[in-house]
């Protein structure tokens, strides 16, 4: 699954998530025709560079929580939380309401 083709497709979909909305890993996976590959979406986003223009912060897990774990400069749990809040997405007790903020297509 190292297909550059697939990776670009995934990043392409993530780019479509509008500001102020979020999507889940599983949702993205399904959108690119790879259901059951939610984990691969995370793997792909993890490899992004800090200065990437891909809105990786708008991707969260199905429980409405942030799942990033690394501590890279520019890409970490707290950075994601801050970016979401700036966009008007409420993060209450580490949880985001998918009901309100999920990007429905």
Partner DNA sequence: AACCTGACGACGC
Partner DNA sequence: GGCGTCGCCAGGT
User: Which chain residues interact with DNA by CB under 7 A?
Assistant: 1-2, 24-27, 36-43, 45-46, 48, 56, 59, 61-63, 67-70, 75, 80, 93, 95
d(CA 48, CA 105): 25
d(CA 88, CA 42): 23
Nearer to DNA, 46 or 88 (CB): 46
Nearer to DNA, 23 or 88 (CB): 23
Nearer to DNA, 75 or 91 (CB): 75
The answer to whether the CB of 17 falls within 8 A of the CB of 23 is: yes
Give me 77's structure tokens.
């749990």
């Amino acid at each position: 699954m190292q297909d550059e083709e697939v990776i670009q497709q995934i990043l392409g979909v993530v780019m479509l998530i509008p500001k102020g909305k979020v999507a889940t890993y599983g949702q993205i996976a399904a959108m690119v025709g790879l259901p059951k590959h939610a984990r691969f979406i995370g793997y792909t986003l993890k490899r992004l560079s800090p200065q990437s223009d891909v809105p990786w912060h708008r991707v969260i897990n199905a429980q409405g929580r942030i799942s990033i774990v690394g501590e890279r400069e520019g890409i970490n749990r707290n950075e994601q939380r801050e970016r979401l809040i700036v966009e008007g997405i409420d993060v209450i007790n580490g949880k985001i309401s998918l009901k309100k903020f999920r990007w429905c297509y």
